[in-house]
Amino acid sequence: MLRNFVSFLLLSLFFQTTHAQMLTTIADGGNKKASISERIGITDVSIHYDRPAVKKREGKIWGELVPYGFTDLGFGTSKAAPWRAGANENTSISFSTDVQVEGKLLPAGTYALFMAMAPAEATLIFSKNHTSWGSYFYDPKEDALRVTVKTIPTADSRERLTYEFSDQQENSAIITLRWEKLGIPFKVSVDYISTQLASYRQELRSEKGFRWEAWVEAIDFCIKRNVNLEEALQWSDYAMNAVFVGERNFRTLSARASVLKKLNRSTEADQLMKEAIPLGTMLEIHVYGRQLIDEKKYAEALQVFKINAEKNPGKFTPNMGLMRGYSANGDLKNALKYARLALPLAPENQKKMVEGFIQTLESGKEIN
């Protein structure tokens, strides 16, 4: 009986000691856990870190609490460890696609972020080992990338360490570590167009590709950016003609016509638009007519506006189209006629605009 009790007691003590740190609690030293995520282009960037506080140690952080260079921390296997760029566990940073950090390529993935500090600069280290605790087991053989950046003294003091995104552009952002009176910024860039096209190619093979709208969306991107036009032309054929997916409507036909125009195949594009116009909605036809005016194809634009008026008689938008079409062709008398017809049909928030057009035409000026 005594033997059984001792065994039970030892087993209880074992579980108490081995499981003492398994429950969720505040991190040691009150360092707060944090994370920040942002999308650059379509690339997701996430940082997970712990936030130490200054705790009245102003002027003693850099070069003291955070030592300069690589140091022996007295624990673990590393005898020349960088700073963990935070507290407690590794600071980790993840990229959903390949990126460039300060102009240098870094493949998609999750990395430990370390920093070797100096009085006026910091060497950022992206390590393939992001699961170790701190930098005690840092191994330079696991480095994926090193870059050196200038540090920036700041007038205001930041009590708790934080990471921030700033200067966000379509294909880049600045990430800055801020703590006490120092900022450590580094630029992350992406090849947005390439990653977007790669994403389209992948998504169009999924269930999303069973709708012609998805193909047109990808085509519109290529047209707007003037990129990947030959593949966009293939996509347009699929959007119009593919089994279960394709549909010959205004949007698919006009999307293909736009690609053909970009490829200097205007005759084919114009022929497609002759098929597309009768299939368009009132607004789609009107927008196409406006596009022709922008291209200075004034006679073609007027014909498109006339078709819209025939399909949708007595409506505000077709009358506005005829106003623009006649004005572009120098027939201000007819332009004024249709502006006056449009005025009583105008929504309240557009009446003043139409009145302005009428005044411009009455003064003998073109309104486009």
Per-residue pLDDT at 22? 66
**pLDDT value of residue 14:** 43
CATH of domain 193-362: 1.25.40.10
Alpha helices for 137-228 (secondary structure H): 192-203, 212-225
Domain boundaries, the chain: 29-190, 193-362
Residues of the chain short of pLDDT 70, as ranges, are 1-22, 24-30
Residue 26 is predicted with a pLDDT of 67
Nearest CA-CA partner of 327 in 282, 352, 360: 360
Q: What is the dihedral of CA 121, 127, 131, 136, to 10 degrees?
A: -60
**Predicted pLDDT at 288:** 93
Nearest to 307 by CA among 328, 289, 330, 329: 289
pLDDT reported for residue 30: 66
Q: What confidence score (pLDDT) does residue 133 get? A: 87
pTM for this predicted structure = 0.81
Supply the pLDDT for residue 28: 60
pLDDT of residue 21: 56
